[in-house]
Amino acid sequence: MASPRRIGENRPVPTRRSLLAGVVALGAPAVAGCSRVATASTTKGGDLLDRLRAQGVVRLGIAGEIPFGYIDRNGDLTGEAPELAKAVFKRLGVRRVQPVPTEFGSLIPGLNSQQFDVVAAGMYVNPDRCEQVIFADPDYRMLDSFIVRKGNPKGLHTYQDVVAKKARFATGTGYAEIQYAVEAGYRESDILVVPDQVAGLNAVEAGRADVFAGTALTTREVVKKSRKAEATKGFAPLVGGKPHVDGGAFAFRPAETRLRDAFNVELRKLKRSGELFRILRPFGFTEAEMTELTAKELCGG
Amino acid sequence: MTWDWSAVTDFLPLLRQGLVVTLEALALGSLISFGLGLVWALLMRTPTRWVRWPVGAVTEFVRDTPLLVQLFFLFYVLPEWGLTLSALTTGVLGIGLHYSTYTMQVYRAGIEAVPAGQWEAATALSLPPGRTWRAVILPQAIRRVVPALGNYVIAMLKDTPMLMVITVLEMLGEARLFSQQHFRFTEPLTVIGVAFILISYLASLLLRALERRLVR
């Protein structure tokens, strides 16, 4: 890599040409830097697991969403997905996990641009996302639910209610719930897209929206602190006219199939031994949310 | 990295919506900041310190805190105190208020640059204070500061993407929404980058034309 210091060699007489050369010299490492970022595996199936073992640390993309993946009051990484990641990666021979917090909508782009190695945010597996990343088998299944004002004055329980009662609908950036609302007939451009569930709660409390849609667990957790809002009972959104149960899973870059497969093997062992439920239970998960669904089923055709 | 023209055509309807919002925010933000800035500048010239000190403290506070923090505050904290404004209104007010504390200084410079002789002449003609300001001082002061105010229009344009954080879907907001749905980043971001250059350049041409008119 060209040293940035090279610009100093021309110091005594900074003619226009030498300055130009300096700019080029500065630019060179930047370009070199770009090519270095793209360390996507080229071998078949990827060698990421070997590299992670050698480094002893795996970077997890998290979205700051309680209870899926967040930094707790002591500044420690916790949540359903990070705790599960710690357990699985320990078995895979990677000792440490390092959180990379970002917005939910930036998780897949961040993964594909190498900012972290795995998405550990309890991300729903759906066909759109399956085109961008590969998923491990889901570690939980989940219904949707709404945050509404106390007493649910508009009587909103499903996406159909939202459309029929012309309620103002909000959800999070990049959430699967956008698609469910559109499927029910809500105009996409009318959706209020907020950064996360806390902003969503705020929008409902402040009256900017009548309803915020998220996973049943997210909404249940976030309204605990609220006196003005409540969460509705979980329900299965209709996709193609049929009730659809979602499953959340870890996401990997498409080239890293070996890491994904190794992850799946350990995950299956945890499921069978009941260890998975023990890890997830402190975060509000129940037996009903354990699942045998596979990523393949959820990715669809 | 590949360039996909179909992503550009898919993005265009969203771009149009975002463009309208960006221009709305810019136009209203400019009006508020130019109006409010003049009010601040005039209030700072009142003889009593009971006006000058509070105005000075408030404007200094606004000028010394980041616009982003102010937007968050206006959008997320004010509703807790019972004042809920729409996202765009919050954004326009935030950006207008923030920039008014800059334009206030611009107006001050303009007013102080009016030669003392003009004040003396107004006094000699025993013009009332209101008339002195309207007919003598401000026309000369404002003419001097149009180029500097134009700068702030362009700076404001480039700060409108901050409104994205309070859910205003201006150009950058639309681009991000599109990117996150279609996982295409290069095209929408490039398109809005070009749009920003075009708008900035057009705005600077307009302002230069305005300057020329005012100098005549």
* CB-based contact A140:A293 (threshold 8 Å): no
Q: Does B206 lie at the interface with A, CB-CB under 8 angstroms?
A: no
Mean pLDDT of B106-122: 96
> Distance between CA atoms of A117 and A152, rounded to whole angstroms?
41
Considering just the CA atoms, what is the radius of gyration of chain B in Å?
Answer: 21
If you count them, how many residues does chain A have? 301
Which residues touch A213 (CB under 8 Å, ≥6 apart)? A144, A145, A146, A147, A159, A169, A170, A171, A175, A177, A180, A181
Per-residue tens of pLDDT for chain A, all 301 residues: 444 444 444 445 555 555 555 555 555 444 444 444 445 556 678 889 999 999 999 999 999 888 899 888 898 899 999 999 999 999 999 999 999 999 888 899 999 999 999 999 999 999 989 999 999 999 999 999 999 999 999 999 999 999 999 999 999 988 989 999 999 999 988 999 998 899 999 999 999 999 999 999 889 889 998 999 999 999 999 988 889 899 999 999 999 999 999 999 999 999 999 999 999 999 989 888 899 989 999 998 5
Structure tokens, A213 = 């849609």
Q: How far is A115 from chain B (nearest CA, A)?
A: 15
| Partner B, chain A 240-259, Cβ-Cβ below 8 Å | none
3 state SS of A215: strand
Domains of chain A, first to last: 48-141+246-296 (3.40.190.10), 144-243 (3.40.190.10)
> What is the model's pLDDT at position A17?
57
Least CB–CB distance from B17: residue in A189, A203, A208: A189
Q: How far is B209 from chain A (nearest CA, A)?
A: 33
> Distance between CA atoms of B178 and B8, rounded to whole angstroms?
10
Residue A234 DSSP one-character state: P
Does A132 sit within 8 Å of B183, measured CB to CB?
yes
Least CB–CB distance from B167: residue in A132, A178, A192: A192
Q: Does A202 lie at the interface with B, CB-CB under 8 angstroms?
A: yes
Least CB–CB distance from A109: residue in B17, B79, B185: B185
Does A202 sit within 8 Å of B76, measured CB to CB?
yes
Tell which residue, B139, B67, B138, B137, has the closest CA to residue B101.
Answer: B67
Pairing of strands A169-172, A192-194: parallel
Instruction: List the single residue in B with minimal CA-CA distance to A204.
Output: B79
Q: Which of B186 and B215 is assigned the larger pLDDT?
A: B186
Instruction: Check which CATH number belongs to the domain holding B39 and give it.
Output: 1.10.3720.10
3 state SS of A15: coil
Find which of B68, B78, B183, B185 to mutate to test the A interface (most A CBs within 10 Å of its CB).
Answer: B183
Q: Which residues pair with A61 in a beta bridge?
A: A100, A119
* CB-based contact A68:A118 (threshold 8 Å): no
> What is the model's pLDDT at position B1?
64
pLDDT-derived band of residue B21, with 50, 70 and 90 as boundaries?
very high
Q: Find tokens 């070996």 and name the residue.
A: A258
Whole-prediction pTM? 0.78
Q: Does B133 lie at the interface with A, CB-CB under 8 angstroms?
A: no
**Is the ipTM of this structure higher than 0.85?**
no
Instruction: List the single residue in B with minimal CA-CA distance to A106.
Output: B180
Instruction: List the single residue in B with minimal CA-CA distance to A201.
Output: B76
Q: Does A172 lie at the interface with B, CB-CB under 8 angstroms?
A: no
* Omega cis (within 30) before B188: no
Which residues of A are less than 8 Å from B177 in CB distance?
A: 173, 193
> What is the model's pLDDT at position A3?
46
Beta-carbon-side half-sphere exposure of residue A191 (alpha carbons within 13 Å): 28
Find which of A182, A202, A225 to mutate to test the B interface (most B CBs within 10 Å of its CB).
Answer: A202
* CB-based contact A211:A149 (threshold 8 Å): no
Q: Does A7 lie at the interface with B, CB-CB under 8 angstroms?
A: no
pLDDT above 70: percentage of residues in chain B? 99
Does B179 sit within 8 Å of A109, measured CB to CB?
yes
- Average pLDDT taken over every residue of chain B: 93
Mean pLDDT of B177-194: 90
Tell which residue, B186, B177, B173, B130, has the closest CA to residue B6.
Answer: B186
Mean pLDDT of B90-112: 97
Give me the domain span that covers residue B109.
5-215
| Number of separate domains in chain B | 1
Q: How far is A27 from chain B (nearest CA, A)?
A: 19
> Distance between CA atoms of A112 and B169, rounded to whole angstroms?
25
The kind and range of the H/E element at A98 are: strand A96-101
Does A207 sit within 8 Å of B177, measured CB to CB?
no
For residue range B122-162, list pLDDT tens digits in order: 999 999 999 999 999 999 999 999 999 999 999 999 999 99
Q: Which residues pair with A239 in a beta bridge?
A: A242
> Distance between CA atoms of B102 and B95, rounded to whole angstroms?
11
> What is the model's pLDDT at position B184?
85
> Distance between CA atoms of A171 and A191, rounded to whole angstroms?
7
> What is the model's pLDDT at position B216?
62
The kind and range of the H/E element at A71 are: strand A70-71
Sequence-ordered strand ranges (E) for B60-159: none
Pairing of strands A57-62, A118-124: parallel
> What is the model's pLDDT at position A23?
52
Query: Which residue blocks in A113-211 are alpha helix, DSSP H?
Result: 127-130, 159-164, 177-183, 197-205
Q: Which residues pair with A201 in a beta bridge?
A: none
Least CB–CB distance from B183: residue in A108, A189, A193: A108
Which residues of A are less than 8 Å from B180 in CB distance?
A: 105-106, 109, 173-174
What b/e readout covers A150-176, taking b as 16+ CB neighbours within 10 angstroms?
Answer: eebebebbbbebbeeeebbbbbbbbbb
Which residues touch A105 (CB under 8 Å, ≥6 apart)? A172, A173, A174, B176, B180
Tell which residue, A92, A33, A69, A107, has the closest CA to residue A265.
Answer: A92
Which residues of B are less than 8 Å from A208 in CB distance?
A: 79, 84, 86-87
> What is the model's pLDDT at position A18?
55
Does A194 sit within 8 Å of B176, measured CB to CB?
no
Which residues touch B85 (CB under 8 Å, ≥6 apart)? B74, B78, B93
| Partner B, chain A 104-133, Cβ-Cβ below 8 Å | 105-106, 108-109, 112, 128, 131-132
> What is the model's pLDDT at position A2?
46
Mean pLDDT of B55-72: 96
* CB-based contact B171:B14 (threshold 8 Å): no
3 state SS of A172: strand
